[in-house]
Amino acid sequence: MHGLCNNVQLWDSQAILSDQYRLIIPELRGHGESKLSTGMNVSTFVSDILSLLNYLGLKKVNVCGLSLGGIIAQELIIRKPSIVQSLILCNTVSYTPYMVRNFVLFWGFKQIIEKSQAELKKFFVSQCIYNNVDTALLESAEASFSINKMSYIQASLSSLSRNYLPFLPFIKTPVLVLGSNKDKITPVFSALQTYSLLPKSELHIFKECGHLSNIEKKDEFNDRVLSFLSKTV
């Protein structure tokens, strides 16, 4: 599952995984080409995912989520743990302290209000990619964003109010936690915090990498995911 204001192109660099696994890449409501304009909150996102899996007749899946997608993944496993065979949490958070949450919301809403769509794409990429001199990398990251201002506001308010820390010690499913040491959006401490509370988890931190680790360190990302899945599937 992709992050806030992303689209399905976020996962283009993971297409190679389809050589070994069936990939189901949903586009969240209010994101990408979705025409839905209501219900942009974590609970509804999870309901949508469960409806999709039910429609596809899937009883057990490996779940991967980045940023907002990682928050949705945590909500999903808490709501219906039986459907999650393994969990991959990428550059995400399990809890955002009150003061930090208010600052992030104010900062984000200010950008959304003041900037045009084109300016927002450039701005988000500048915040999410550490290597800002690789033109191909920046273009790939920019293609993964589809800015819907109302979706951003609603989903931000919902996702940053979550606190999954009390639930993490009770998750018995294997979990891979991925973080980046140059992540400006979800600092590496968030990955360490989540990992420390999960009883069956692995941790990997990407070096010299920003928020979109699956794009910026795609080969290393794919190798870590395949290695993890080989032990859990």
Contact 99, 35 (CB under 8 A): no
The pLDDT value recorded for residue 208 is 98
* Total count of domains within the chain: 1
Q: Is residue 180 part of a domain?
A: yes
Q: Is residue 3 part of a domain?
A: no
Q: Is residue 190 part of a domain?
A: yes
The pLDDT value recorded for residue 62 is 98
Backbone angles phi, psi at 31, to 5 degrees: -125, 155
The pLDDT value recorded for residue 177 is 98
Q: Is residue 2 part of a domain?
A: no
Domain harbouring 77, CATH code: 3.40.50.1820
Q: Is residue 203 part of a domain?
A: yes
- Both structure tokens of 95: 């809890």
SS3 per-residue string spanning 6-67? ECHHHHHHHHHHHHCCCCCCCCCCCCCCCCCCCCCCHHHHHHHHHHHHHHHCCCCEEEEEEC
Task: Give the domain range for residue 103.
Answer: 8-232
Q: Is residue 1 part of a domain?
A: no
The rounded distance, in Å, linking the Cα atoms of 66 and 70 is 5
Low-confidence ranges of the chain (pLDDT < 70): none
The rounded distance, in Å, linking the Cα atoms of 16 and 32 is 22
Q: Is residue 106 part of a domain?
A: yes
Q: Which amino acid would we find at residue 161?
A: S
Q: Is residue 54 part of a domain?
A: yes
* pLDDT tens-place string over residues 35-55: 887 889 999 999 999 999 999
Q: Record the pTM.
A: 0.95
